[in-house]
Amino acid sequence: MRVVPFFLLLATFLTFRVQASEPVRTLAVLDFENNSFFNSEAVQPLSKGLGQMMATELGRCPSVRIVERRKLQRLVDELKLAQAGVTDEENVVQVGRMAGAQNLVFGGYLVMPDGKMRMDVRIVEVETGLTLQAGEATGKTRDVLSLVRKLSRKVLKDLELRLTAPDDRPPGNVSLDALTQFSKGVEFEDRGDAVRAAECYRKALAMEPDFGPAKDRLSRLSKTR
């Protein structure tokens, strides 16, 4: 009877050792590029919101360290890449090196007239500047949380990283208006305007009370005040 607990303890110990030995990968997640030709200006704020949601999803992996948004934004501003095009291959590699990231994750989105959205993502190795993998996902704009989750898991798989306890619950739906308010909140955070950011997150939650990313950002803001 005493043998069983011993083997259970041994298995737990070995599992802990394996998890503890996994190297931590530092990722820099850039804002997504707006490739929409229909109503492009109206969906431009999604650039920051999608980038933030992707970073949050990837950050759920214990082997991933995400470069802080403010640090990335500061580098983009210093290099004056907002106008030059931060998604240019040479520019993103430069940002990654300065941020101390091993890999860059960035991509684009296309909102279509029929209410669908296409998202694509690329993984770049900072040391070599080579694109390691690319992927895309298409669905209704209300399914954006599912699209982000799908692409984030592809990124982790391509980087040979794993979630120790993946959340397989349906991520839920969110309206385009709520997503836009959330994205505007992220933009205000980047500007250092916590008050207006919180207002946007509250508006998003008033439309979609179960909008997890908005809850998360609002909670973080309340803790930093």
Residue 46 lies in a domain: yes
Structural domain of 225: 174-225
One domain, residues 148 and 193 = no
Q: What's the confidence (pLDDT) of residue 189?
A: 93
Distances in whole angstroms, Cα of residue 189 to Cα of each of 15, 23, 73, 217: 39, 31, 11, 9
One domain, residues 117 and 54 = yes
Q: List, for the chain, all residue ranges whose pLDDT scores fall below the cut of 50.
A: 1-4, 6-20, 83-84
Domain end (from 137, 153, 173): 173
Q: What's the confidence (pLDDT) of residue 21?
A: 54
Q: What's the confidence (pLDDT) of residue 77?
A: 76
Q: What's the confidence (pLDDT) of residue 127?
A: 87
Please tell me the total count of domains within the chain: 2
One domain, residues 163 and 211 = no
One domain, residues 85 and 195 = no
Residue 16 lies in a domain: no
Strand partners, 12: none
One domain, residues 104 and 120 = yes
Neighbours of 4 (CB within 10 A): 8
Residue 14 lies in a domain: no
Residue 15 lies in a domain: no
Residue 10 lies in a domain: no
One domain, residues 117 and 204 = no
Residue 1 lies in a domain: no
Q: What residue type is 150 in one-letter code? A: K
* Contact (Cβ atoms closer than 8 angstroms) between residue 34 and residue 44: yes
One domain, residues 76 and 119 = yes
One domain, residues 40 and 145 = yes
In angstroms, the CA 155 to CA 133 distance is 8
Give the strand pairing for 131-140 and 116-125: antiparallel
Q: What's the confidence (pLDDT) of residue 88?
A: 60
pTM of this structure: 0.84
Q: What's the confidence (pLDDT) of residue 164?
A: 77
Q: What's the confidence (pLDDT) of residue 129?
A: 86
One domain, residues 63 and 126 = yes
Q: What's the confidence (pLDDT) of residue 9?
A: 45
Q: What's the confidence (pLDDT) of residue 10?
A: 45
Strand partners, 110: 118
CATH at residue 161 = 3.40.50.10070
Domain end (from 157, 173, 189): 173
One domain, residues 169 and 201 = no
Q: At what angle do helices 69-78 and 89-99 cross, to 10 degrees?
A: 120
Residue 179 lies in a domain: yes
∠ CA 189-192-193, rounded to 5°: 75
One domain, residues 165 and 225 = no
Contacts 24+ apart (CB under 8 A), 85-89: 86/30, 86/31, 87/30, 87/33, 89/124, 89/129, 89/131
Residue 2 lies in a domain: no
